[in-house]
Amino acid sequence: MERMDLEALNNELLDAVLEKGSLSFVVNRLHQALNKGVLICDCLGRILIGSNSEIEYDIDAYIAKAIDHSEAYYYDQEICQLFFPIGWGKLIAIIIVREVKEEEIENILPVLETANLSLCFYFSKYNAIREVENKYKDLFIQDLLFNNILENEEILAKSKLWGWDFKKEYFVAVIEPDNFINIKTFAEELEYITKKLAKENDIEIITSVRSGTFIVISREKNNQKERVKEMIVEKISRANKYFSEKYDTTFSIGVGHTYLAYKEIYKSYQEAKTALAIARLIGETKFVKYFGTLGIFKLLYKQEAYLLKEYYYETLHKLIEFDKNNNGELLPTLDALISNNMDIKLTAEALFIHVNTLRYRIRKIEEILRIDLSKLENVVNLFVALKIKALLKLHYSDID
Amino acid sequence: MGYGFLFNIDACIGCQACAAACAKKNDFFLGFRRVQKYELKYRGKNVVFYYSNSCNHCENPECLRRCPERLYFKRRDGIVIHKMGECRACLTCLKACPYQAPKFNHQIGKVSKCNLCVDETGDPLQPKCVKACPTFALQLVHEDYYQPMAQYYHLPIDTIGKSHITQPSIKIIIPPELQKNGEN
């Protein structure tokens, strides 16, 4: 393209971005100018314009290569695609040009460089608007979740501004990363996933961020009156695989009961956080915990530590002593047996021992504790004692 | 988060000035702060220390979740407030709070709790207990994030042991003789 043409293209793109705020116009215009397929994705590798179906490879890997590449662009011969980073100093977005031959790169680069300025403007404007919107949305959500709005009418009026119907029943799920991850990236990824989920399933999902956690507020039933609460949580939880591959971290979810949003949604939030904290306390990771299914732990965490310690030793001290004196493995065996729902075959596999060895150990446990492990009451007592162990570890250094 | 307390165990001399100031502000019959003495044997040494406790304005306030009348709320600056006027003294919050922060006022038959003296005029916020502390053991802090209290769990303070759920807005400076594994 001639210099005059490039200038005209630059003006055209700037006009489109500043006046119409249209990213699709930029892509169409680049497509016309280059006569090639053009995609734009953000710095996290999410395609903003173009479709995912056009990508038949792991885009993240190529974007990582493009970012690491010291040149102004990255060309991959294998897939014949050109990756052109947008932004000065800081990566804002990436233009992907498809079906590019190596000898064409020289002609393509001036056009992409021309688009750089307009795209920088577009993303600066887009990010600034989103930041302000999120700030006000987060403040409203946080006021709601801490019961900091006194009048119900005020909640309903404000929720209408955002297009939410808080006269209906909603629940809150709190998502917390299991390992360290930049919360901004974590939230952006989850926001994208939840938005997609909401669109695919025709449900309303409201999101917010607070204290290193990502908050999801959604309806229990969708517009077709189908129960979708568990489905939403399950689908969000599936993103764990993506997070562990991309960021080497996982996350856990605590879910509260469903309440009328304008009256008691704050309770659901507190319940979700409690569910999350209790499950963390007993050493779980990568879990989904519903407040309604916490069971015995709802009672346990409120007990005085010395009472729990007393119960733990009363129930298991003979076994602990035996293991200590004989270098035994009975307590871990019991733990594994209960974790595997008293299934002998599964437990033996988990412990890498023969079934008969396990049977022998079970007989030994019964003998030492003078109990019958076929009785539910005895199993429950042992189960509670073993769970208490996790709680006690926080208080006493002699528990291991 | 927002406002919270910073408590330096080493600096506290147990003079009860914070508790007295709180009681005075609340007309002498309803002090929300109390100072307790702890004596324990830790790593073969006898250790005596004081701990001053009141409402910790938690991130997950149990009082807020449990109050059936919806009278508790947490402000944007992190302060947990109880609307005393509408309280019918069901005492649910008293039982729910692991720090025994809400107190029942027998004279008016309602529950009340520390509000970090937000009802006092003047700027900036200066709770009476913090102002009264002669050794600066108790201070007001404003933090974005308060660390979970796992590092203090080895201390035999009853209220701390229950803090894993509520996440109190408090930071504690532990003296060397009470530090876990020889470090802070």
Let me know: does B161 contact B24? Beta carbons within 8 Å. Answer: no
* 3-class secondary-structure state, position B34: strand
Domains of chain A: total: 3
- What is the least distance, in Å, from the CA of B18 to any CA of chain A? 27
Whether A173 and A195 map to the same domain: the answer is: yes
Q: Which residues from chain A sit within 8 angstroms of residue B57, using beta carbons? A: none
Among A172-176, A246-250, A292-296, A352-356, the least confident range = A292-296
pLDDT, residue B178, reads 76
Interchain CB distance below 8 Å, A394 and B153: yes
Residue A268 within a domain: yes
Indicate whether A170 pLDDT > 70.
Answer: yes
pLDDT tens digit sequence for A307-352: 788 888 899 999 999 998 998 889 999 999 998 999 999 999 999 9
Residues of B with CB under 8 A from a CB of A: 1, 59-62, 64-65, 70, 72-76, 98, 145, 150, 153-154, 158, 161-162, 164-165, 167
Domain coverage including residue A88: 3-128
User: In Å, how far is B74's CA from the nearest CA of chain A?
Assistant: 5
**Chain B residues touching A146 at Cβ < 8 A:** 64, 73-75
The verdict on A210 and A294 lying in the same domain is: yes
- A353 and A293 within one domain: no
Phi, psi at residue A194, to the nearest 5°? -70, -35
Size of interface A-B (CB pairs under 8 A): 62
* Residue A200 dihedral angles phi and psi, to the nearest 5°: -65, -35
Residue A56 lies in a domain: yes
Q: Please tell me whether residues A236 and A345 are part of one structural domain.
A: no
The answer to whether the CB atoms of A148 and B75 lie below 8 A apart is: yes
User: Would you place residue B182 in the very low, low, confident or very high pLDDT band (cuts 50, 70, 90)?
Assistant: very low
Q: What is the domain partition of chain B in residue ranges?
A: 3-182
Residue A96 and residue A66: Cα distance in Å, rounded?
10
Residue A139 lies inside a defined structural domain of this protein: no
**Measured distance CA(A44)–CA(A189) in Å, rounded:** 8
Look at residue A70 and tell me whether its pLDDT is greater than 50. yes
* % of chain A at pLDDT higher than 70: 92
Q: Among the three residues A241, A273, A299, which one is the final residue of a domain in this structure? A: A299
**Helix, coil or strand: residue A246:** helix
Strand A169-177 vs strand A47-49: parallel, antiparallel, or unpaired? Answer: unpaired
Tell me the C-alpha distance between B49 and B39, whole Å.
7
Nearest CA in chain A to B75: A148
pLDDT value at A66 more than 70: no
Residue A96 and residue A79 in contact, taking contact as beta carbons nearer than 8 Å:
no
Based on the fold, state whether residues A287 and A328 are members of the same structural domain. no
Tell me the mean pLDDT in the region A28-57.
Answer: 77
Residues from chain A contacting residue B72 (CB–CB below 8 Å): 147
Same domain, A53 and A116: yes
User: What value of ipTM does the predicted structure carry?
Assistant: 0.87
Claim to verify: residue A195 and residue A325 sit in the same structural domain:
no
Residue A141 in domain: no
A255 has a chain B CB within 8 A of its CB: no
> Do A365 and A343 lie in a common domain?
yes
pLDDT at A203: 87
Say if the Cβ atoms of A304 and B158 lie within 8 Å. Answer: yes
A344 shares its domain with A308: yes
Confidence class for position B162, pLDDT limits 50, 70, 90 = low
Tokens found for residue A111 = 């056009």
β-pair partners for B73 = B81
Burial class (CB in 10 A: 0-12, 13-18, 19+), A311: middle
CATH number, domain containing residue A355: 1.10.10.2840
pLDDT exceeds cutoff 80 at B158: no
Judgement on whether residues A226 and A352 belong to the same structural domain of the protein: no
Per-residue model confidence as pLDDT tens digits over B107-155: 889 999 999 999 876 667 889 999 999 999 999 999 887 776 666 666 7
Please name the fold of domain B3-182: Alpha-Beta Plaits (3.30.70)
B5-61 pLDDT tens trace: 999 999 999 999 999 999 999 886 778 999 999 887 777 788 889 999 999 999 999
Planar angle of CA A34, A35, A39, nearest 5 degrees: 75
- Domain of A213, CATH number, reads 3.30.70.270
Both A159 and A281 in one domain: the answer is yes
Digit-coded pLDDT (tens) for A221-245: 887 788 889 999 999 999 999 899 8
The pLDDT of residue A364: 93
Last residue of a domain, one of A299, A333, A357: A299
Burial (CB count <10 Å: 0-12, 13-18, 19+), residue B139: middle
Interchain proximity B153–A139, CB inside 8 Å: no
Q: Tell me, yes or no, if A284 comes closer than 8 A to chain B by beta carbon.
A: no
**Domain co-membership, A69 together with A94:** yes
Please identify, among A299, A331, A360, the residue that sits at the C-terminal boundary of a domain: A299
Which of B41, B65, B155, B180 is the mutation pick for testing A, counting most A CBs within 10 A? B65
Identify the residue whose tokens are 């006009």.
A15
User: Is residue B179 over pLDDT 80?
Assistant: no
What share of chain B in percent tops pLDDT 90?
A: 50
Please answer yes or no on whether B153 and A395 come within 8 Å at the CB atom: yes
Identify the CATH number of the domain in which residue A45 sits.
3.30.450.40
> Can you name the residues that pair with A254 across neighbouring β-strands?
A174, A289
Q: How far is CA A321 from CA A47, A330, A360, in A?
A: 60, 10, 18
